[in-house]
Structures are given as structure tokens and as C-alpha cells.
Amino acid sequence: MTSDSLLDLEREARIGLPEAILCAGKSADQLARILEQAPPRVLLTRLAPEQYQALPEVARLDYDALSRTAIRGGCPTPPAPARVAVVTAGTSDLPVAAEAERTLAFHGEACERLADLGVAGLWRLLAQRERLARFPVVIAVAGMEGALFSVLGGLVGGLVIAVPTGTGYGVAAGGRTALGAALASCAPGIVAVNVDNGYGAACAALRCLRA
Amino acid sequence: MTSDSLLDLEREARIGLPEAILCAGKSADQLARILEQAPPRVLLTRLAPEQYQALPEVARLDYDALSRTAIRGGCPTPPAPARVAVVTAGTSDLPVAAEAERTLAFHGEACERLADLGVAGLWRLLAQRERLARFPVVIAVAGMEGALFSVLGGLVGGLVIAVPTGTGYGVAAGGRTALGAALASCAPGIVAVNVDNGYGAACAALRCLRA
Amino acid sequence: MTSDSLLDLEREARIGLPEAILCAGKSADQLARILEQAPPRVLLTRLAPEQYQALPEVARLDYDALSRTAIRGGCPTPPAPARVAVVTAGTSDLPVAAEAERTLAFHGEACERLADLGVAGLWRLLAQRERLARFPVVIAVAGMEGALFSVLGGLVGGLVIAVPTGTGYGVAAGGRTALGAALASCAPGIVAVNVDNGYGAACAALRCLRA
Amino acid sequence: MTSDSLLDLEREARIGLPEAILCAGKSADQLARILEQAPPRVLLTRLAPEQYQALPEVARLDYDALSRTAIRGGCPTPPAPARVAVVTAGTSDLPVAAEAERTLAFHGEACERLADLGVAGLWRLLAQRERLARFPVVIAVAGMEGALFSVLGGLVGGLVIAVPTGTGYGVAAGGRTALGAALASCAPGIVAVNVDNGYGAACAALRCLRA
Amino acid sequence: MTSDSLLDLEREARIGLPEAILCAGKSADQLARILEQAPPRVLLTRLAPEQYQALPEVARLDYDALSRTAIRGGCPTPPAPARVAVVTAGTSDLPVAAEAERTLAFHGEACERLADLGVAGLWRLLAQRERLARFPVVIAVAGMEGALFSVLGGLVGGLVIAVPTGTGYGVAAGGRTALGAALASCAPGIVAVNVDNGYGAACAALRCLRA
Amino acid sequence: MTSDSLLDLEREARIGLPEAILCAGKSADQLARILEQAPPRVLLTRLAPEQYQALPEVARLDYDALSRTAIRGGCPTPPAPARVAVVTAGTSDLPVAAEAERTLAFHGEACERLADLGVAGLWRLLAQRERLARFPVVIAVAGMEGALFSVLGGLVGGLVIAVPTGTGYGVAAGGRTALGAALASCAPGIVAVNVDNGYGAACAALRCLRA
Amino acid sequence: MTSDSLLDLEREARIGLPEAILCAGKSADQLARILEQAPPRVLLTRLAPEQYQALPEVARLDYDALSRTAIRGGCPTPPAPARVAVVTAGTSDLPVAAEAERTLAFHGEACERLADLGVAGLWRLLAQRERLARFPVVIAVAGMEGALFSVLGGLVGGLVIAVPTGTGYGVAAGGRTALGAALASCAPGIVAVNVDNGYGAACAALRCLRA
Amino acid sequence: MTSDSLLDLEREARIGLPEAILCAGKSADQLARILEQAPPRVLLTRLAPEQYQALPEVARLDYDALSRTAIRGGCPTPPAPARVAVVTAGTSDLPVAAEAERTLAFHGEACERLADLGVAGLWRLLAQRERLARFPVVIAVAGMEGALFSVLGGLVGGLVIAVPTGTGYGVAAGGRTALGAALASCAPGIVAVNVDNGYGAACAALRCLRA
């Protein structure tokens, strides 16, 4: 029992979500050993391009540089129409949104992206209001002041999962202000995940859709 | 348009959740005026006993001192069996749990309470594991270090909504440590609401169940 | 030169705003001595009811309990129509809004209040959009997540002065989240004053209108 | 509607300020695509030299390395004399001041810079007192302890817009101390924007001047 | 060696400052026992009126309610002229200033108070400039944004000891902003003590004067 | 399974420490019900005098007001000599020290108290150095800057368990500075518990002594 | 007495732990000079590979890149069986665990590593429960939400020394959340050391084992 | 008056300390222009080696890499014996100590360095006690938990100026813990400057010595 790595292989049976590999802070050797142990289908998150290039099985992985995710073993065909909307406030929020989208795809769930709906140009969001109201789950990705979360929460009845991002500077840096905005929202029933946690938001969406 | 209070009466039509009255920080006069405007069925939260006693329509309200909520107009009969579990770590978390339960009842949704499942006595939680796995939504209420959130998240497949509470002292005071634990959890797909926000957790559960 | 109190009597000549008396933390004796020194027309802020009752010249003061302000010497007739809008997100924000309004009145400036425009019920704000667009200055008072600031900033071209309030609990308590939201806003050119500083917002409005 | 970028092209009509492009955190590809969509006259902020060099239309942009801004389409001739003063405490505050100045120029507004007026050598500020009093708007840029904001606010009657900067180390690092100083100022009616937000300060000045 | 209280009776011989009794958080019994052990001449700080009234030897103490200090055994005649100036920004800073003054008096050192020199009315400070320049030590007491510290530090050559206070609200509450301003000051050689620590500032002044 | 309270009765068998009752935040009713469920010998912590008076079984409890603890069922005779030293920096730290002492006594472990050893009068600590070196465990209780922890850690070879307290004001308030001092200590192998957690320190001592 | 470096050579006689060399922030020259002064057997911590390569006596050091430690002079043979368990939550915690292990080895104490026991896959920890219960000391290394500390503390009776790590992002970054979880734990008697302080945890284990 | 740089040339006449050039964050061009304006004798602080190399007048500067200071124009001969002691806790504190020493030298004041007196090896400090007691001013430089400040403050009667440093990791990183320790010290009359501010400590010493 002195192995460095002990995957939770029964997680899928237990909670319906297989263990993903969080690659940040892991060496190439460690990642290679973990991949040997892992099941054929596996999702890797926070995989930097340099880490990806150093893996022995580069060829077998479907890597996406924007989201820094890799998928081994392909994705199931999702049911249509999409049940999850992924809404972003601005361009800088796209990597986190993409992590959520890739996680959903890995688990066989489709989504639609509605980009650049930040509230400074409110008409962009209002124009999508009816479309948004049809989704049982909305993943909202925003940094800066995170006002998008509250506006969305007052417009749609689905589950709104807020993903704060570190977009911005000064008091916005690090995503704490956007996180606080999600948690302190005047709109009822908004839930939040950690800053930049697109993966977690997708997992929460999956838990909800199976409810 | 110089009224001090303008209820969002169409909220229910829009998002399926009528506006509740957050009573903290409001004077007796303000509350009385808001109640006049409000629809016959309404939920009041954070209503202190002194505030409650000062209301003109005390007799028409169903007040619960533990949760500090009042309901005017009764509650619909919920469908059985309950679809939401409300889990608490310790006795001090009960007021927040009760706020969630009362909010669910107001919206016609039943729940079951599983109290005192803090992880220091892990067997208490493990003994309930199969029962917990049957709920599509689990509202988990815990203060101190909030380890309950992660352990639950690794055991059940339903949506786990973490409600951190201010239970504890020193670094636990104010609920920031428990909130951080919910957001930084190693279990995938846990979502959080604001500290002590039992009302918000229930609203999120309702959004999810309608998904 | 051992006096305890030295009013800045030339301030009005210098910057157009006479010194107001911030009463918080001052004893009845100290306030009485300051009032003796002060010019006939003077504004007192953060004056608690008990402090007010203990003043020797209660009869000469126009006291407003909601805003905790008192005015000695009356107010000039303001020019019409009002050039400042005071917008609030919810009932709990009214005391701070009232402090701004009383400060404007003291300086001979009118304002209109638009209450309860929190973004969870966005239609309330949108219904006032044209009206709001006519004001050169909008003072926005909001706590919780402060999303109102950004939505307003994207709708009107006047100067938007954000006054965060401590309305809310958990991560909203103390007003830091709302303050962060004002400062990190995605809408261009929003400015902020300190938490609960209705007086300061009014002074900024006066500086702007004289520009 | 799956575009990654959706400019708020009507913003200028709505609030009098066209959308600027915040370049921080955006890739060369993303910037190139946004520039294609953007109107002929556009302002780019937080554009690092490397980002600028990688743009396809380098030749058409007027780039300023100090402020990290680029302007496409030239600037209108501003009315004279200048209505905005830009005051800095020290040399390290110049990049932020320059961002404000370039933003003003883009919108056809002139300004005058008064540099190095930090309060440790108070005579420098006092010597400019009469000149400063003539400006309807003063943008004050300072880091460290931000005492400049309060001293200015007590000397001039125009709108003082404080831009805290991250100049300094230890407790000054990140600009939080200077920001706190602006918000907690004993001088009435000072307003603040986010740390290093020269762009926002200029937009606020424009909103005020149009008041 | 199970006594609850063990005074550092040799402290005066060692560092020239006898141990004072910090009364905050101590019960009447504890204070009575400590006073029995203490030398005939002793200084008590942070002694609330209720604590003072409950002491067995009320009659032998010289109590000052503003500073919450008591002196047993009288004060030596100080050398003239005073070598310490105690400068305050506003009325709310007087209790802390008084604690410093009483501490100096207990140790046989005189001081002069210059009250209400906050920088919003800069002329008040400038009018005292020559007088202030004659003191080898200046204790500056200020809350809010603490700009007084920097302005003083640029005007006088003596040791400037900044005592931040909790005067103010919002970001000023608790004195952290004023403390940050003292530490991040652009004026060279300003030193700070803890928030509200008038006693410590006086001790530092005594250490300096003996240098 | 809808009970509000579910004691972890097997905890003693599992980890050698029976569950104690943390009384803070619990109502008289809740405490009475928990005491019914609890085993005959039980320790209650953070029991305020008012809570204690309201308990039905006041007569059966050994209550100590300083430590706010109560013991039902008596304490075993501890082995001699004491194996734990409880060191305090000042009088205000005694309540927390007493909580540790009472917890040790409840578990049949003796201790010796060495009070008032704060480092400002270092000779007091140095005079006890040999005595301190004989204890396998030293519980150190200190607030303010917590320098006692490091000095002790450099003098004795036993396990030093630091208990930071909230003694002090300004930056010391709340115990964060003392806690940081314990964790950042330059002396090797110091461990810390939560602010004011005398109970936890005693439990850690018991764990260590059984090692 | 103007030497830059003065080793505490008697520390081992005093407290049983020789001084180790913390290499972070020291230049190659400084390290070389310290090594000259140091005793033949010495432990170096936080020694980056570049620092190690630049040392004159590379050949005489046993360097471990994972833990960033070097040992000069070899290690004593430890007694069997191991008395310390080192438990990690995930792969990213291994460097800190390895620092603890190397420190124990340097001091002649063996340990066993139990890796990847994070609570999201609770069975991994439960499967090791009996084995873990045999160790008098358990060093637990975990980042993110640090739930491992509480679960362990409820399962084993030995001293649990929590080492929070900076593993994770957002609210987990920097290890503050995991540190808070260790300190606020609902399990009794858990102690904590600084974030990433594997060395300190090992020293505490050594202090305990000698108790 | 549009120059970017306006030295405070009269500062020396006013407060006895000429303006020094803080080089951090300034470009080579900016520094060159400032040096042209500056008087013949000038002190430069926080001058990185790369910045130094890029200056046109490298040959005329006396540069010290450890303290990152440069002196143009030489230093006066200081009076003997030294009146300032510079005490450090460990090797990592030397750069900050050296900045203080160089600043003193520039102003014609001598000092003695007493290095490596951290309290974990208390004998090192006690051995210097008599020597330390002879200095009217002691500059103490320490990071980590900053316990050195309090121990020194209880041993010597001179003015103790605490300079916290960022030495350490986890809760020590950034110097906030050491700063808090200086401000919350139980020893009377300790004063603090900003983290790493060796320059400021020296200026405070000069102010004190001229008292």
C-alpha cells in the first residue's frame, strides 16, 4: 500500500460520475502512471499544453487547448435537444465555459453556448430570454462583478449554476467579487461552484438532470 | 412612483418562485405595508419573534420560531414520497435546516430530515447511506469545517446543495471556512449557497426538481 | 489652542460644500459644543434618536429618523425639475437613500426616488428606463450582490454613483460584496462611495452638477 | 448564436460611450476576430506590446506603450480649454494616468496632466491650487496610502475621481490601501473607481461633463 | 507558582517603563488582586466606568472617563516646555489621544494637544506648522483614511508616531484603512502602533525622548 | 430517524475520547434533551451561566464559571506527577486555560498551571525553564502577538500545543495574529488549535500522552 | 559579532531537534557559508534543484527532488515497526508528505505512507482504518477542503497532525481553506501546522513520540 | 508644468531628510531623467541589478546588490560610537537590514549589525542583551512570526523599530503575520513600519536621534 496513486474506480457506480484526473500540479511521470491505472474512458482537466505534449499517449487523447481538457476513449452521443445552456459574460470567460462543455460531452450530455451576454449590454441577454427559459439547467460563467448571475436568476426558472471567473483586475482579480455576487444574489435559488470550476458546474448539471 | 415598496408580483409566473419577504432590517411599519401589497399566500423569512409580535396580522400567520419563518395562506399538500433530504451536522445547524424545510413546505414539496450526521462520528452517516442515495436532492447544512459536504458528495448521486452555517468559533465564526469547504470540495458537482441561506437552498432544490 | 473642536468654517467658500457634523461616536456634550460653534444652517448625519433627544436644541432641529439626519436652519427651494434620481434595490436600502436625499435637500437640490428596482424583477427597472435616462446624475443604493449598479450603468448615460449597503447576510454582510460589484462593474464609468455613505454620494452629485 | 463574441454596438447610442475592447486575457485570434466585428473607430485597453505586435492590423493602430492603449480611427478635436485635470502622486502612477488621458482623447475630451503632486511635498500641490480649482473634474491617480485624494477633495470643488494604483509594497501592494483611503476619505464627495482603472475614471468624467 | 497573576515588577529597571494594567477583559476580582500586588504608583488602561466603580479602592484612583485610564499614586511634575505634540484629526479621536496624554503624564512628560486638524480643512494644519515643527515627537491620532499621517510626515522633522483609530464606517471600520495609510505612507520615517493604542504611542514617545 | 440529536456514543471506544457537548448556540430545551441521551459521565463546554441556570439538572452538575464548563459524574483520580503544563501569557487567557484544565481533569489527567509568563517580562519564563522541560506536553495559551509560543518552542522538547486567544484589540482582536504566530513560528514542531479552543488542546494532549 | 549567520548549535541539546537549514530565499553564497558552520549531519529543506546544483558540496549531499530536501551525513536506522503514518489526500500532496518523511528519516524515525485517501472515495480510507488505528501519530496531508482531517480524527485515537497544502484553485489556492478546516474540525484534538509545513509536522511527531 | 517628474527638493530643509528615489516600477528612461533633476548627493532604493546596469551613470554610483540601493555622491563620516543597532532574526532578513544600514550611512549615521538572533535560539539574543541596551535605537528585522520584536521590546529601553519581512511561507508569506506581531506586541512602545521597509525604519531612527 505504498503506491502514490489510488484511483477511486468505483466512483461511477456510487455517484454516477467517474473520477476525472485533475492534472494541475502533477508531473509528467505522475500523470503517465495515473493514466495506466485509469479506465479506458477518462477525462483529464487543467492539462497544460506542455503537460499534454509530454504524455506518452498523446496520440490517443482528444485534446482541447481552450479548455485545457483531454478525453480518452471518445464521447457518447448525447440526447437531443440540449438540456443545458452555457452562458458567458465575455470572451475571457470562454476557457471556463469550454471546460464545462467538454465535461458535459464526456458524460453524454449536450449543451448550447450563448456567449457575450454581459449585462452592460442588457439587450443581448433579453433577446435570448425565451430561448434560455427552455433549459432545465443554465450554467452561467462570469467574472468582474458577476451581475449576470442575478439577472439570469430573475429571468429563468431552471437551475442556475454560477461559475465565477477571475476575469478582471483590482478588486475583481481572483474571482472573489464574482463569487460573492453569486452567493449574495437577490434572485432566489442560485447556486455557485468554485472560481473557474467549469468541471464542477457540469457535474452539478449532470446530478440535477438525473434527479 | 414614490412608493417605498414594489413587490415583484410576476416573479412566480416568470421563474416559478413567488417573491418571499426577507424581514431582517425592516421596521414593523415597513413589514405591515409590504404585507398589504403581498398576495394572500406569502412566505416571510428572517422574521424575529419581536418583529412577528408587532405585526397587525399575527393571528393570520403560521409562525415557526426555530426557523424564524411565517407562512400566510397555508401550504399545498406535497407529493409523496419526499424528494429532498435535509441533512445536518449538529444541533446548531437546525434553524437553517428548518428554514429550508419551511420553504419547501410553502412550495408544496416534502422533505425528510436526517439530523446530527457530522463526520466526527462517521458511522451515523454511513448508516444512512442507502436511504440518502434515494433522494434526487440532498440539502446539507453544516458549519465548522464543513467536511460533511465532501463526504456526502462522494456517497450520493443526487444534487448536493451545501448550506454553510456560522456554527463554531475562531476561524469557523461567520461560516467562511465551511463555505470554502463546500466550494473547494474534492467531491465533484457540489454546489453552495450563501452562509445560513436555508431559503436559497430550498429554492435551488425546487428549480432542480422542476428540471 | 486646546479646544477639542475646530470646525472648518471656510469649507463652503473653498469647495462649495459646508462642513457637516458626523455624529456617530460623539457624546451629547461634544455635539452640544460643536453646535454652538457651527453656523446657523448646518446638517447633522448619523444622529441616533437617543443622541438627538439629548441635544439642548431639540426644538430647533428638523430631525428625520429614517435617515438619522437633522437640519438646522431650513433648506433652500430647489430648482425644478429634479436633476438627481435616487434608486434603491430594496426596502432595507431606504435609510441610506434617505441620507442622500436629505443631504441634497439641505444643499438646495431636488431628487426623485425610484424604490425597489432590484434586478431579480428586472421589469421594474426596465419600466423606468426612459425616465431614468433623463437624469444627469443617478445615485444607486443597493446591498447584497449589487447587480443593480451594472445594469443601471449599461442603461443610462448620466453619472451613476453607487452606494453599496450592508443589506444581506453571510458574504453580503458589511457591504463588501456590493462595493466590489460597483468597482468591478462591466459597465463603463460607474463610481463608488463608501458602504452606506448616502451623504458622500449626495456631495458627489452636487460636485458633478456644478461641473 | 454560437459566436464567441457579440459586441454591444448600440452602447454609444444608449449611454454615450461606445464599447471599448479590454484586451487582457484575450488571445491574438480572439482580438483579431473582435476587431473585425468592431466599428471603424475603436479603443483598445490593456493591450500588452506582445499582443499588439501579433495583431494583423498593427499598421492601422495608434499604439501607446505607456498606457497600453491603441486607437483605431483617430480622435476628434477636443474643445478648449481642457475641462479635466489628471493629477498623479508619483512617477509609477503615470501608466494609469495615461490610460485615462488616452480614453478622454478618444472621446474628444482634452485634459491637462499635473504630475508628481504627492502630499509628502505638499507645496507642489498647494502651488497648483488655483489652477486645479478651475477644472470641473479632477482625476486623481495615486497608490501607496492615497492621501492625495483627501487633500485634493478639501481644496477643490470639482468632481474628484480617485483612481487608486498598486504602487508600493507590503500593505500598499495591490492598491487596497489606496482604494480604502479614497472610500474612507474625510473630504466630502470623493468617488472611486477600481484599482488601476484609468479607463473607468475617464468614462466617469465624460458622464459628468455631459451632465 | 499557581498564582493567576505575576506582575513584571522589574520592568521599569529593565526598560524604563513600569508595567501598566490593561483592564479590558479582566473581572473585578482579578483587577482587585492585581492592584494588591502592584506598586503604589500604577497606571490602569482600558478601564470601563463599570469596572472602575466595582474596584475596592475607587477613592484612591484618579479616573478619567474619556481616556478610560486611572492613575494611582499621582504624577511627577513634567519638565517644561512640552516635548510631545498630540494631534487629532477629529472629535472621535479624542479618547485615544487622551489615553496617550494620560500615559505621558503618568511618566512625567508633558504634551500639548492640537485638535481637529483633519486634512479636509488643510489650513488648520498649515496654521500650526511652525508650532508643530518645534516638537521632537508628534503623536498623530486619526481614523477614516488617515491622510493626516502623511501630510504631517512631510511637514515636520520630529518622530511622527501614527495611532490609527476605528473612526468611520464601511471600509474605515476597525481602523485597518487608517493603519494601512500610516504604514504605506509616502512620507519617510513615519511609524505606527496598533489601532487605538494611545498607550503604546506614548511609550514609544518616552523611549524616543530618552534616546 | 427524525430526532434532532444523535450523540456519537461509540466515540470513546473508537478514539478514546467521549463526545463532549458544545453548548454555545443551543437552547435550554435542546441541552436538556441532549443531557437525557448522554451517558452518566459527560463534559459540557461553552456553557454560559444563563444556560447553566436554565438546565433541569443544575444540582447534578459541577459548574465552573471561569472556564464555562460543567462536569456530570465526577472525574477520575489522575496519575501523579502531572504530565501536562498549562502556560498562560496573561490574566485574560485564564478562561481558555481553565477550559483545557477542566477537560484534562474530566479525562483523568492532571496538569500544572504556570500563569503570566508573557515574554515582555522574559525572566518569568526563564525562571521556569527547567520545570517546563520536564513536561512531555505543554499547552501554551496566549493572545496579542503570541510570541510566547516560539520562545517556549525553543526552550522545551515536549510537544507544544499553542492555543491562540482573542486577547487584545485592533490587529490582535479575534486571535488571528496569535494564530498566525503559532503557525509561522521559527521554532520547530509547534502545533496549533483553533482560537480559544482550550478543549481541543486538552484532547490533543490526551492523544499525545496515549501515543 | 558581525557575522551574517549564527547557527543555533545547542538546539539539539535543548529540545532534541538540531537546527535545520531552510534554504528558500538564500543565495548560493549564503548557503555555502552556512554549510561550513553547520555540524557534519544536517538537514536542508526547501532546497530548489538550482540551489542544490550550485552548492560546492553537491557530491556529499543526499538530495531528493520531490521533497526538495538534502541530507548530509546519513540517517540513523529507525526502530521498527514504524510509529508514524503519513496519509495524503491526493497526488499533489506528495511533495509535502515527502518532506515530512525525509525529516523523520533524518531523525531516525520510520513512517509508512498511505496515499490517495481523499474522502471523495471514502472506501479507500475505511479500508485502512484498522491499520491506521495502530499508529500513535498520524500526519495527514491534504489541500482543497481538507475534509480528510476531520474524518481521520473521528476514526483514530492517535495524535492527528494536519498539514494543509495549497492544492486546488479559487478559494482553495494558498491552503487557507484546508488550514481553516483543520482548525475548525468537529473531531476533537486535531492539531495543525502551517500550510505545506511537512518539516514542522515531522518535528511535532518527534516531540510527541518522545513524550 | 507637464513634466512627469517633480522632485521635492526642499524636503531636506523642511524635515531633515532629502527625497530618495524609489526605483521599483520605474523605467530606465524615467530613472535617467529623475537623476538629471536630482541633487548631486542622492540615495536610490529598490534598484534591481538590471535597472542599475541600464543607467547612463553606472560608473558614478556606489551600488550594493544585497540591499538594492545605490548612492551617488558618497557618505559623510558618521559620529562614533554607533547609536543604532540593526538586529535580524535570520539570513533571509539581511537584504532589508542592509537597506536600513545603507540609508543610515547615506545620512551620516553609523550602526552595528547583530545578525541571526531569532528567538528559537534565545541564548543568542540574551548573550547580546547588555550590548543592545546601550543603543538609543534598535531596528529589528524579522519575518515569520516576528516574536523577536516583543522579546527585544521587553529587554531594552531604546526605541524599537520593527521591520516585518516576508520571510516564510503559508500564513507567513507577505509579512502580514510578522507585521501583526509587531503591532499587537505585549511589550510597550514598539513601533512598526511597512513590510520590508528598511528605508523607512532608518528614516524613523534618524528622526528619533535628532529629537
Whether chain B has a CB inside 8 Å of the CB on F35: the answer is no
Query: What's the confidence (pLDDT) of residue D7?
Result: 85
Closest Cβ opposite residue C25 in set E92, E120, E171: E92
**CA–CA distance, C147 with C36 (Å, rounded to integer):** 44
Distances (CA, A) of D52 to C54, D58, D200: 65, 7, 21
Q: Which of B151, B183, B185 sits opposite G122 (nearest CB)?
A: B151
Contact E95, E118 (CB under 8 A): no
Residue type, A199: Y
Of A92, A124, A131, the CB nearest to D6: A124
Cis preceding linkage at H56, omega within 30: no
Q: Residue A71: enclosing H or E segment and its boundaries?
A: strand A69-72
> Is the pLDDT confidence value at F1 over 70?
no
| Residue H192 to residue E189, Cβ atoms within 8 A | no
Separation CA E25–CA C175 (nearest Å):
30
Q: Can you give the pLDDT at residue G1?
A: 33
Q: Identify the helix (H) or strand (E) that includes residue A142.
A: strand A137-142
Whether D15 contacts chain C with CB within 8 A: yes
Contacts F168 to H, Cβ<8 Å: 184
DSSP conformation letters of F117-152: --GGGHHHHHTTHHHHHT-SEEEEEE-TT-HHHHHH
Nearest to D180 among E118, E149, E177 (CB): E177
Beta strands in G91-146 (DSSP E): 111-114, 137-142
Residue of F nearest to E196 (CA): F170
Q: Do H157 and E199 touch (CB under 8 A)?
A: no
Q: At what angle are helices C176-183 and A176-183 packed, to 10 degrees?
A: 120
F133 touches chain H (CB under 8 A): no
Neighbours of A53 (CB within 10 A): 10
Establish if C167 touches chain B: CB-CB under 8 angstroms.
Answer: yes
**What residues of G are in contact with residue A19 (Cβ under 8 Å)?**
120-121
Nearest-neighbour CA in chain D from E129: distance (Å): 12
With contacts defined as CB-CB under 8 Å, which chain A residues touch G118?
Answer: 8
C-alpha torsion angle, residues E65, E69, E71, E72 (rounded to 10): 90
Q: What is the layout of strands, in order, in the sheet containing C137-142?
A: C111-114, C84-88, C137-142, C159-164, C191-192, D191-192, D159-164, D137-142, D84-88, D111-114
8 Å CB contact of F115 and E7? no
* Per-residue pLDDT, A35: 95
Report yes or no: G170 at the A interface, CB cutoff 8 Å: yes
pLDDT of res. H1: 33
pLDDT level of residue A57 (50, 70, 90 thresholds): confident
Convert the pLDDT of each residue in D121-138 to its tens digit: 999 999 999 999 999 999
D130 and chain C in contact, CB less than 8 A: no
- Would you call G121 an interface residue with chain B, using a CB distance cutoff of 8 Å? yes
Best residue of H22, H68, H199 to probe chain D, by most D CBs closer than 10 Å: H22
d(CA B175, CA F18): 26
**Is omega for the bond preceding E81 within 30 degrees of 0, making it cis?**
yes
pLDDT of C80 reads 87
User: What is the number of other CB atoms lying within 10 angstroms of the CB of residue G205?
Assistant: 33
Per-residue confidence in pLDDT tens, chain H, 211 aa: 344 568 888 899 999 999 999 999 999 999 999 999 999 999 999 999 999 999 988 879 999 999 999 999 999 999 889 999 999 999 999 999 999 999 999 999 999 999 999 999 999 999 999 999 999 999 999 999 999 999 999 999 999 999 999 999 999 999 999 999 999 999 999 999 999 999 999 999 999 999 7
Contacts of C50 (CB under 8 A, 6+ apart): none
Q: Which of H86, H88, H111, H116 to mutate to test the interface with G (most CBs of G within 10 A)?
A: H116
Partner-chain residue, chosen from B4, B11, B25, that has the shortest CB–CB distance to C121 = B11
Rounded Cα distance between G143 and D136, Å, is 53
Q: What is the mean pLDDT of residues A24-33?
A: 93
- What φ, ψ does residue C108 adopt, rounded to 5°? 80, 30
Identify the pLDDT of residue F211: 79
User: For chain B, how many residues are written?
Assistant: 211
B123 touches chain G (CB under 8 A): no
Q: What are the cell numbers at D164?
A: 487608486
Query: In this complex, is the C-beta atom of C133 within 8 Å of any C-beta atom belonging to chain A?
Result: no
Q: Does C120 reach chain A within 8 Å, measured CB to CB?
A: yes
**Cell reading at G31:** 548557503
D121 with H8: Cβ contact below 8 A:
yes
To the nearest 10°, the Cα dihedral for G119, G121, G123, G125?
-40
| Contact yes or no for G91 and A1 at CB 8 A | no
pLDDT per residue, tens digit, chain E (211 aa), is: 344 568 888 899 999 999 999 999 999 999 999 999 999 999 999 999 999 999 988 779 999 999 999 999 999 999 889 999 999 999 999 999 999 999 999 999 999 999 999 999 999 999 999 999 999 999 999 999 999 999 999 999 999 999 999 999 999 999 999 999 999 999 999 999 999 999 999 999 999 999 7
Does residue A9 carry a pLDDT above 90? no
* E142 contacts chain C (CB < 8 A): no
- C184 interfaces chain D, CB cutoff of 8 Å: yes
Nearest to F10 among B123, B171, B172 (CB): B123
d(CA E189, CA G89): 48
- D133: which 3 cell numbers? 480649482
Q: Counting one residue from C and one from D, how many pairs have CB atoms under 8 Å apart?
A: 120
* A184 — pLDDT class (breaks 50, 70, 90): very high
Residue for cell digits 466526527? B120
Residues paired with residue B162 on neighbouring β-strands, in sequence order: B140, B192
CA-to-CA distance for F4 and B41, rounded, in angstroms? 29
- The nearest alpha carbon in chain B to G121 belongs to B154
Q: Burial level of F49, CB count in 10 A (0-12/13-18/19+)?
A: exposed
- 3-state SS track over G133-185: HCCCEEEEEECCCCHHHHHHHHHCCCEEEEEECCCCCHHHHHHHHHHHHHHCC
Residue-wise pLDDT tens digits, B23-61: 999 999 999 999 999 999 999 999 999 999 999 887 799
Before C81, cis peptide (omega within 30)?
Answer: yes
pLDDT for position D211: 78
Residues 6+ apart with CB under 8 A from F123: E10
Residue G22 main-chain phi, psi, to 5 deg: -85, 110
Torsion of CA B99, B101, B105, B110, to 10 degrees: 170
Touch of H by C (3+ CB pairs closer than 8 Å): no
Comparing B2 with H114, the larger pLDDT belongs to H114
Res B157 pLDDT > 80: yes
Enumerate neighbours of H (3 or more CB pairs within 8 A).
D, E, F, G
Mean pLDDT across the stretch G123-139? 96
Q: Is A179 on the interface with B (CB under 8 A)?
A: yes
Nearest Cα neighbor of G189 from A3, F161, H133 is F161
| pLDDT level of residue C4 (50, 70, 90 thresholds) | low
Considering CB atoms only, which of H83, H190, H204 is closest to E159? H204
G150–B147 CB contact, under 8 Å? yes
d(CA F24, CA F13): 26
The answer to whether E169 contacts C196, with C-beta atoms less than 8 Å apart, is yes
Average pLDDT, chain G: 95
Task: Report the pLDDT value the prediction gives residue A1, as an integer from 0 to 100.
Answer: 33
Taking CB atoms and an 8 Å limit, are G15 and F137 in contact across chains?
Answer: no
CB-based contact (8 Å) between H151 and chain F? yes
Give percent of chain G above pLDDT 90.
Answer: 92
User: What are phi and psi for residue C134, nearest 5 degrees?
Assistant: -85, -15
Mean pLDDT score of chain D: 95
- Mean pLDDT across chain B, nearest whole number? 95
Model confidence at B118: pLDDT above 60: yes
Measure A141 CA to nearest chain D CA, in Å: 13
| CA distance to partner chain G, nearest, from residue B38 (Å) | 39
Which residues touch C42 (CB under 8 Å, ≥6 apart)?
C18, C20, C21, C35, C71, C72, C73
Q: For chain B, what percent of residues have pLDDT higher than 90?
A: 92
Q: Is the ipTM of this complex over 0.85?
A: yes
The percentage of residues in chain C with a pLDDT greater than 70, rounded to a whole number, is 98
User: A3 pLDDT exceeds 70?
Assistant: no
| Residue H4, pLDDT score | 54
Residue holding cell 450554467?
A: A139
